[in-house]
Amino acid sequence: MAYTQNVDACLGIAGSGALEPVLDEVRAALTQLALAHEQGTLPLLHVPARRDDLGLLSDIADWMLPGATDIVILGTGGSSLGAQALAQLAGYCLPVTIPPQGRPRLHFLDNLDPWTQADVLYRLPLDSTRWLVVSKSGGTAETMAQMLTVLARLEEAGFGGAARRVMVALTETRDSPLSRLAAAHGLPHVPHDPGVGGRYAVLTSVGALPAILMGLDPVAMREGAAGVLQPILDGADVLDVAPAVGAGVLALLERERGVRSHVLMGYGDRLQRFALWHRQLWAESLGKNGKGAGLEAATGPVDQHSQLQLWLDGPAERSFTLLVPEMKGQGPVFPAGEAPDPDLAWLSGNTVGDLVAAEAQATADSLNAAGRPVRTMRIETLNERALGALFMHFMLETIIAAHLLGVDPYDQPAVEDGKRRARAALDRSAGETAAS
């Protein structure tokens, strides 16, 4: 297993006997998932075994990479966060990012900001920058706004007609603004799997193409995911299905212990975007009909210095999942022998990884001592296989949590209202400008 999960401390607080009735409900969710796999009604469950799409993705990467100094990925939410999590594994999106040897710089434009957009358009070398536009619907306002400004800038800079040599569209094969623009400009098209929702799409081309561009192995990612799914397909006992146990325990804490928010805290820099990816997955899948607990993304050890006081001493309404990669012995060593300062003698001979590992353990112990429920997930080696396994773990855990909550994990009806209002506001101001 690419990771281990320990929920003993949560059960110590919630009472292990209380889990059994929840597990009965979880079993029903597992039966539904196994059936959905058998009947092919949930394409997400078939992605781990897919290989047929990878040839096209490699061809596209081979086409994009030669001569590229910069790759910009346009897309938001489910069209970006999974790839960002993968990027941190490859050494990108970190506090100090030095692109791996021979690889281009990588930029994710998942937020829309007028100044960032201007910087991107006017400060990146247009002749050696490649653009990957990702949108399942092909109509998301922010992504389309970014794409339009890139196309206009290429035109302005005299690269008119060049979009087809520097830009790729990843979207569903159906009529949409993005697919129409792609056709008009002759852009290569990578299909977005129509049966897989955006926030569940990281294992598909949405994560796999960026992974290949970054030099990661998408097969290992899918193999890791398959390993988490397999016990469900095999009809294993619920206690041997890690996401099932996870969902059951979180639901138990919500029901019996008044937990209203779950903190996902990854240790080290490389799980920060992963936690953001999961935050969207959880929030959009479960926040419905007045139901759904929150999901807070945190990074250790840095957030110990900003959040731990509240977590330990504030309202007892949170659960904690610590994601801890094995890092003992990793990184630079503090010199052994006599310490340069007596107050720092305790560090001598240890590595940076030893310190971070000790801090993770100490935080778990402090939270436990304060009666706060902690689940610890340990990752043996943080690589594509482990990340694929964790992606699948949290997608399944979320789907099972939705079953326990009685909500549909695959839609996000409330989000549409804000989009409609933003569009109406701009339409109105266009009307007013025209009238004045």
Ligand X SMILES: O=P(O)(O)OC[C@H]1O[C@H](O)[C@H](O)[C@@H](O)[C@@H]1O
Active site residues: 284, 305, 419
Closest CA to 324 of 273, 269, 378: 378
181 close to 54: Cβ distance less than 8 angstroms: no
Nearest partner of 103 among 212, 206, 204, judged by Cα: 212
- Min dist CB 204 to ligand X, Å, is 12
Pick 129 or 280: Cβ nearer ligand X: 280
User: At closest approach, how far in Å is the CB of 262 from ligand X?
Assistant: 19
Minimum gap (Å) between residue 92 Cβ and ligand X: 20
Choice between 135 and 398, CB closer to ligand X: 135
135 or 307: CB nearest ligand X: 135
Strands 374-379 and 3-6: antiparallel
Q: Which residues pair with 318 in a beta bridge?
A: 261
Supply 54's token pair. 């990878």
Would you say 172 or 217 has its CB closer to ligand X? Answer: 172
**Residue nearer to ligand X on the CB measure, 307 or 412:** 412
Q: Nearest residue to ligand X, using CB?
A: 77
Q: In the complex, what is the shortest distance from the CB of residue 190 to ligand X, in angstroms, rounded to a whole number? A: 13
- β-strand partners of 6: 376
Closest separation between CB of residue 33 and ligand X, Å?
Answer: 21
Q: Are 23 and 248 in contact (CB under 8 A)?
A: yes
CB of 203 to ligand X, least distance (A): 15
Q: Tell me the C-alpha distance between 234 and 54, whole Å.
A: 26
First-last CA distance in the chain: 66
Which is nearer to ligand X, 208 or 245 (by Cβ)?
A: 208
CA 67/CA 162 separation, integer angstroms: 15
Smallest gap from Cβ 78 to ligand X, in A, equals 3
CB nearer to ligand X: give 88 or 412.
Answer: 412
Q: Which residues bind ligand X (CB under 6 A)?
A: 76-79, 135-137, 140, 143, 198-199, 284, 412, 415
Rank residues 83 and 253 by Cβ distance to ligand X and give the closer one: 83
User: 275: how many CB neighbours lie within 10 A of its CB?
Assistant: 22
Judged by CB, which is closer to ligand X: 143, or 368? 143
Smallest distance, ligand X to C-beta of residue 152, A: 20
Phi first, then psi, for residue 374 (nearest 5°) are -125, 130
Q: How far is the CB of 282 from ligand X (least distance, A)?
A: 12
Tell which residue, 106, 162, 109, has the closest CA to residue 135. 109
